[in-house]
Structure 1
Amino acid sequence: MTIHSETRLPLTDVKVIDFGQYMAGPAVAMILADLGATVVHVDPPGGPMWQSPANATLNRNKLIVSLNLKSEEGVEQALALIEEADIVIESFRPGVMKRLGIDFQALREERNELITLSIPGFASNDTLRRDWRAFESVIAANSGVFTDMGLNRVLMGINPSFSPLPLGSAYGTMLAASSVVLALQARERTGMGDEIEVPLVCALMEGLCYNSIKIEGLPERYKTQREKEIERRRIEGQPMNLDYDELQELLDPFYRSYKCKDGRMFYVVCPSHREHAKRCLKVLGLYDELVAEGMSEEPDTYRPSSEWQSDMS
């Protein structure tokens, strides 16, 4: 017996024109293609601006055409493609597409159901940086990736450390892909498209805010031991020179490494939620022992600690 089943991917019948180059733009279009969209990728006459084996993955499931957007004929061909599209993607510096003759705002005035996505390195309203060539290292340097990636590095006084990971494009891809899919969903209700901009530097800061966010007047109960130690050393003018072993004593007990009886290390990752910590203690067989020693379980740990049953939970 043969069973026939027709599976429609969620973006079947959605048409996408992908002018993106390098990573983020093509990666967003790749995700949309994986979800069933028909994607036409546009390269310049000389081929991709980034000559990399990664293009085989980034441009999978796409139709690839070559257009010279610096010629009148090429722009006309591009506009003809856009007329049939639901989504248009580009990843150049702000204003580049408009100077070439492809004005997203004007296109949406003619077809308000169109969804346009721009993924520049820096935001169009960032008058200082918007015209910079936003390579991954430039974005990372402007986001503090090389210096502010963690409290451990601050306390150990480690010099800026280069990371080759394309973090800006990675975060930008996921935020941009989510944005256009949500815009499609909204269009089903309203009939209106959207004009979306996802600057890579903003996407990266969104993803790394837990490393670099600063909150004025943050209550002491929310500060970690490492944050308190950094503040103390700065106030007292002491150097940031902790070694690895000294640092271990300041780590969150539910977010650090422990040595097992066999000498191997075990990494506990149970942050952010009291249930994580509770389950971890139960698995380790320590929960009942700690309760017997006086640890209470607060039903609402967001209340002021002065209202807790004890000074820990």
Structure 2
Amino acid sequence: MKSSRLFLGVFAAATVLGISQDKQYDPSSFTWNPKLSESGPVVVSVNLKSQKAAVYRGGVLIGSCLVSTGRQGYETPTGVFHILEKDADHHSSKYNNASMPYTERLTWGGVALHAGGLPGYPSSHGCVHLPFEFSKKLFEITSVGTTVIVSNGDVPHEVSNQHRIEFAAANQSEMEWRPHDSEDGPVAVLYSSADKELLVVRNGVMIGKGPAHEKAFAKKPHGTYTYVCDGWNQDKDGQYHPHWHQVAGPQGSHELKAFSHIQMDPRLKHVMDVVMKPGTTLVLTDDSLSNATRSQPGFLVMHGGLLAEN
């Protein structure tokens, strides 16, 4: 009898301890200061190593939180994603109708941001668990197409603004343009200096590609850079030029404000001008692209709809 009581006591203590360690409803698990930047594109950065996330709006950090990502065997994929779908009262079709409040889908294979348990280590089946109140606040300011970066590197402490990277017309060349393959959704652009090729992706589907090359005005560190379009500024000559804020890149790269033009077929340049809008993601990489559009081993870019199968 005593041994039974002892077992029940230990079990109860372990249960209470487990609950007390779960910070899903703990106010200390997140920060939220939306008044620091009340407008501009929103970018979410998730760090698998530190189990933390940061939220930027208009290039300014407005929130951060603890997360719990995929456990061993269910690792959360790294890459640059777009929010594909939102559901404030989602229930899992795979895991016994489990409640997943404030779900923001990153892949059609089941990876998403949503409120969930935060035990202090990776514990999910691949999703990114967020504090409940934080997930609600984030849900209110994001939209379909918002950029989400998942990486093993450090969560950046700042995002730099007013980078000028332009697309310019060059000689006519072979190109592909299939806008009807995906007629709506978030737009992303990938340029590889190794392959001298540019890809245009909409809602996770490649709709265009063609040869391109970069005309650099400054030496830049080798690596992969990620930008989000702020909008367009008008110069003294009356011409409009896209400006970007940088959300990821090699150390020391944020200081480079205007270092390149990407030159391409005039027809591809024209369609780029048509599909680009504030919030468009641009990834520049010095690495070669594979069929999966990988910018580095294990890291996919702009491939949210198809990434879950890798």
Q: Looking at secondary structure, tell me which structure has more helix per residue.
A: 1
Higher RCO (C-alpha under 8 Å, 6+ residues apart) = 2
TM interval, shorter chain, is: under 0.3
Larger Rg: 1
Select the structure that is richer in strand. 2
* TM superposition score normalised by structure 2: 0.25
TM-score (norm 1): 0.24
